[in-house]
């Protein structure tokens, strides 16, 4: 059975990822999707669509090779050790930014206040003030 591209109207003009090339694209009013019988596999971008179905295998193959390289790069990372602030610290910073937004969003002092906010983050995170 061959895989089929179906065209349907799209309700939303949102970003989507192409299952063939892996690139992100904006949906227009027409959505092209790839199907294996009743199973929807993914969106097809307009660049891939224009190239035609004869190009689909090589587009997909190139995409798979990129994903394998990415997976190899990620695999190297899990052998490393990790450092991360606590969730409590994250929430503390989020409260700080909520207050900041209420006070300064849309105000003339926003840029200056933002520099101070960045400094406050560094204080809380015990990071050096290098700039
Ligand atoms: Zn594509």
Tens digit of each residue's pLDDT (9 = 90 or more) over 17-76: 999 999 999 999 999 999 999 999 999 999 999 999 999 999 999 999 999 999 999 999
- Host domain of residue 58: 4-77
59 C-alpha vs ligand 1 centroid, how far in Å? 8
Each residue's pLDDT tens digit, 70-107: 999 999 998 899 999 999 999 999 999 999 999 998 88
Token pair listed for 66: 């990129």
pTM for the model stands at: 0.70
Domain boundary among 39, 58, 77: 77
* Co-location of 67 and 35 in the same domain: yes
Q: How many domains is the chain built from?
A: 2
Please enumerate in sequence order all residues whose Cβ is within 8 A of that of 26, keeping only pairs 6 or more positions apart, or say none: 13, 14, 15, 16
**Rounded to whole angstroms, how far apart are CA atoms 45 and 55?**
13
Token pair listed for 38: 């009743």
* Co-location of 9 and 72 in the same domain: yes
Neighbours of ion ligand 1 (CB under 5 A): 18, 20-21, 45, 48
Q: How confident is the model at residue 131 (pLDDT cuts 50, 70, 90)?
A: low
**Rounded to whole angstroms, how far apart are CA atoms 76 and 1?**
38
């Amino acid at each position: 059975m061959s895989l089929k591209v179906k065209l349907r109207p799209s309700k939303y003009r949102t970003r989507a990822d192409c299952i063939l090339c892996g690139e992100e694209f904006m949906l227009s009013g027409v959505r092209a999707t790839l199907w294996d019988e009743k199973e929807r596999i993914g969106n097809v971008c307009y660049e891939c669509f224009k190239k035609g179905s004869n190009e689909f295998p090589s587009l997909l193959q190139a995409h798979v090779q990129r994903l394998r390289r990415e997976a190899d790069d990620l695999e190297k990372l899990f052998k490393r050790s990790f450092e991360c602030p606590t969730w409590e610290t994250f929430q503390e910073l989020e409260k700080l930014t909520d207050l900041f937004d209420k006070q300064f969003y849309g105000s003339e002092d926003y840029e200056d206040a933002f520099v101070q906010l960045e400094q406050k983050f560094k204080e809380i995170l015990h990071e050096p003030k290098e700039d």
